Amino acid sequence: MKKKVSIITTGGTIASKENEKGLLESGVMTGEELATLCNLPNDIEIKVVDVMQKPSMHIDFNEMMKVRQAIIEELKNEKVDGIVVTHGTDSLEETAYFLDLTIDDDRPIVVTGSQRSPQDVGTDVFSNLRNSVYVAVNDVIHDVGVVVVFNERIYSAKYVKKVHASNLQGFESFGYGYLGIIDNDLVSVYQKPVKKDTYQINKTIPRVDIVKCYSGADGIAIDAYIEKGAKGIILEGVGRGQVSPYMVESIEKGIEKGIIFVVTTSAEEGKVYPSYSYLGSAHYLMEKKVLLGEDYDSKKARIKLAVLLASIDRVEQSNFK
């Protein structure tokens, strides 16, 4: 009996074409067009579901919810073995983690894209999509959560990050490595995540923003985001989770208004930890009820906090463990 995979398409470079000016237009190719070019396996039954054709920086929580719903609809068919989502690379890691947090199903869900268009010399479109299909039907990937397949490697959605603007090796998981590889259509998995969180969204996803910390930064961005209705703010601190002392007054005022703050680190590896005692340190912020973002990067922490605020009544430190 043939394995069954549903390919959910959203646009991006993987579905792009050149216009008359020689510039790429992201997401103008339909999923059916893309599938016919990719030499997909004959022994696997493919169903293509076009959800949208957009550049990935045009995808926000509303579009993520549409992708989530399309996946859930496909998974209602018990004969579907796995899902592949094609996506632009610029926000791929964000959508992948959103899906990981909001879909509770043991079957593989794979997100992929490409750094080059289907027409480019040396394009990675065909290999990434073909490899993703093979991962989506592999039993070893069951109960792993959402994974990203790129350049013959399999990554956990929580830790994957776009690390190169154009190179085919566009994604990496600093400090954690990849879960496995695909070599000549054979899937090999070497490690799996030991923990997976899923949440049922039952409220409107609120505004959550990111404020980057740098030398001399003040609270003007924090104040502006709160004025615009932010319910949560991610502080991308430095080192163990420190922020500029000139930001503290705005943080404290925000906390008084009920804004949830989470501090992360801009370092590629390591965790936020209350090591120091001074104005703006992780310990100082923790004492003021700022949540410590552990090893989350700022983008993933934003996705996590937004999902938490739309799913549960009280967000606590334990939610970021």
For the annotated catalytic residues, the residue numbers are 13
Beta bridge partners of 47: 6
Say if CB 163 and CB 170 are below 8 A apart: yes
Residue 122 to residue 14: CA distance in whole angstroms: 13
Listing DSSP states for 67-106 in one string gives: HHHHHHHHHTSTT--EEEEE--SSSHHHHHHHHHHH---S
Beta bridge partners of 216: none
Structure-token match 């293509």, residue found: 48
Q: Which two tokens stand for residue 257?
A: 């208004």
Q: Which two tokens stand for residue 102?
A: 């909001």
Q: Which residues contact 256 (CB under 8 A, 6 or more apart)?
A: none
In whole angstroms, how far apart are CA 1 and each of 35, 81, 256? 21, 12, 60
Q: DSSP letter at 191?
A: -
Structure-token match 């410590």, residue found: 292
